[in-house]
Structure 1
Amino acid sequence: MSGIQHASNQSIKPFKSGEEYLYAMKEDLAEWLGDLYNIDIDVNNILEMLETGALLCAHANNVTRVADDFLKRSGPSEIQMPASGVTFISSAHPTTFLARDNVTNFINWCRKEMSIPDVLMFETDDLVLRKNEKNFVLCLLEVARRASRFGMASPVLIQLEQEIEEEIREEMEDLPAQPKPQKRLINIQNLDEMVLH
């Protein structure tokens, strides 16, 4: 069977379940964080590495630093930029109050400094108690997406999104301008007569 025939027999959807997609997102985030901070993190230990909130808060502070450098280089921007970092306890242990405070501080930073909408936010227990990994992963991806606007390295998924958006933008620019349809005035009296008949 040729490659084209084989591909046409396969589903267009690359993952069979939401769990597989979540796994792929976690894998991408782990690789990105590992490269960004030179740490030993993978898809199997990503939640354990982040559950104290210390790395998340350190990341928030790094994003704030990159944003500040961007502003110094390029001047004022229309992009929402974080202006302050996060305080945290680096020695926090998993599931302790200190860990929960760290995660809560990161969540507050996401809301206030990055303006992440509530639909993409997670709750402390989503990470600390693994109640909803998906919300946590989506929030972290959104932070990466927004930080990439001012020059921070981003996960592969975000890079692919940006490439697709750029291709679509270029295709739209290449299309000939379409004339806007002219609006016709409707004679309301005739419309009333038509409704009556």
Structure 2
Amino acid sequence: SCTTIARRSNIQSAASKSIRPFKSSEEYLYAMKEDLAEWLNTLYDLDITADTFMEGLETGCALCRHANNVNRAAHEFKTKYPDAALSLRIPSKDVVFQSRNVIPGSFLARDNVSNFIGWCRQELWIKDVLMFETNDLVERCNEKNFVLCLLEVARRGAKFGMLAPMLIQLEEEIEEEIRDQENLTEALGESQSPPSRTYSRKESIGEPNPELLVREILGQCSCPSQFPMTKVSEGKYKVGDSSALIFIRVLRTHVMVRVGGGWDTLEHYLDKHDPCRCAAFGEITTCVTSSITAAM
């Protein structure tokens, strides 16, 4: 049907967009910048994209403004839910910053960014591994550090009821699934294995089907010796020869893998775990040697 053809076209388009423009090691960072840009645009009526992400934030104005809004949300949360607030780090000290006529790269811009960094460390107690330095943003020394820190700030704000980027919403969805599965296991007893529960978010019109998108990406390779990837349930896969499970979600045109406390793209994940791709890493053409088996 026309609908089926259109849907297949959307899937192929999304898969090709996910693969074509980036080295896999760069794509996950682009996906995060894309998500954070949309989030900040919604919150503050900005007009930044993944491509203009760093320059759109380099004066530090939007960052400091957001920090003060997190403070307000935290105060409201503490007032409304005092018991729950006891287990959270509640920021309170406002960030003083210059908001007018701030020239990128200027002393004022650096001071704004430095004040935001101080707030992250002192008020949110963000770990050093997730922090960035002023030059990481102002001089583009390390985009990854800046992006990961901002994602963590968004994660903290979400705990106080603030709007969260889609990646954080997906994290919460996965954590809820894990909790429900653990509770079910405990209720049934260790001798019984609970059935896998299927979770599904409402798909928007034209949104690619995750399983088909994964198939499209993994289907790029026709190697005889294939790296196994087995679907256990919706959005949950077993990879390689181990029993380890990974969670997969689609973020716009990117197939994302939940890894530990963070995210990666499926392509980059396979580059690091598929022996065939590891051997071909760094070449122009890489091979995704994987197969996917749907759970019955």
Question: TM-score scaled by structure 2?
Answer: 0.55
Find 1:88's aligned residue among 86, 89, 97: 97
- Corresponding position of 2:35: 28
Residue 165 of structure 1: aligned partner:
175
Secondary structure at the aligned position of 1:157 is classed as helix
Task: Write out aligned runs for 1:1-197 (5 A).
Answer: 17-76=24-83, 77=85, 78-91=87-100, 92-175=102-185, 176-178=188-190
- C-alpha distance after superposition, 1:153-191 (max 9, x if no partner): 110001001100100100000003338xxxxxxxxxxxx
Partner-residue secondary structure (3-state), 1:178:
coil
**Which structure carries more helix by proportion?**
1
Structure in which a larger fraction of residues adopt strand: 2
- Give, in angstroms, the shift of residue 18 of structure 1: 2.1
Query: How far is 1:16 from its partner?
Result: 5.7
Cα 1:16–1:166 shift into 2, 3 Å:
farther
SS of equivalent residue, structure 1 residue 95: coil
Q: Secondary structure at the match of 2:125?
A: coil
Letter in 2 for 1:60: A
Q: Give the structure-1-normalised TM-score.
A: 0.81
Q: Where does structure 2 lack aligned partners over 5 or more consecutive residues?
A: 1-7, 192-296
Greater radius of gyration (CA): 1
CA deviations over 1:87-136 (Å, ceiling 9, x no partner): 00112210011111110100010011111000000010000000000000
Deviation string for 1:16-65 (max 9, x for gaps)?
A: 61211100000000000000111212112221111011110000001101
Aligned partners of 1:177, 1:106: CA distance in 2, in Å?
48
Amino-acid identity (%): 58
Q: Which residue of 2 aligns with 1:186?
A: none
AA paired with 2:145?
Answer: N
Alpha-carbon spacing, 1:45–1:16, altered in 2? closer, same or farther (3 Å): closer
Which segment drifts farther, 138-147 or 169-178?
A: 169-178
Q: Which runs of 5+ in 1 are unaligned?
A: 180-197
Partner SS for 1:93: coil
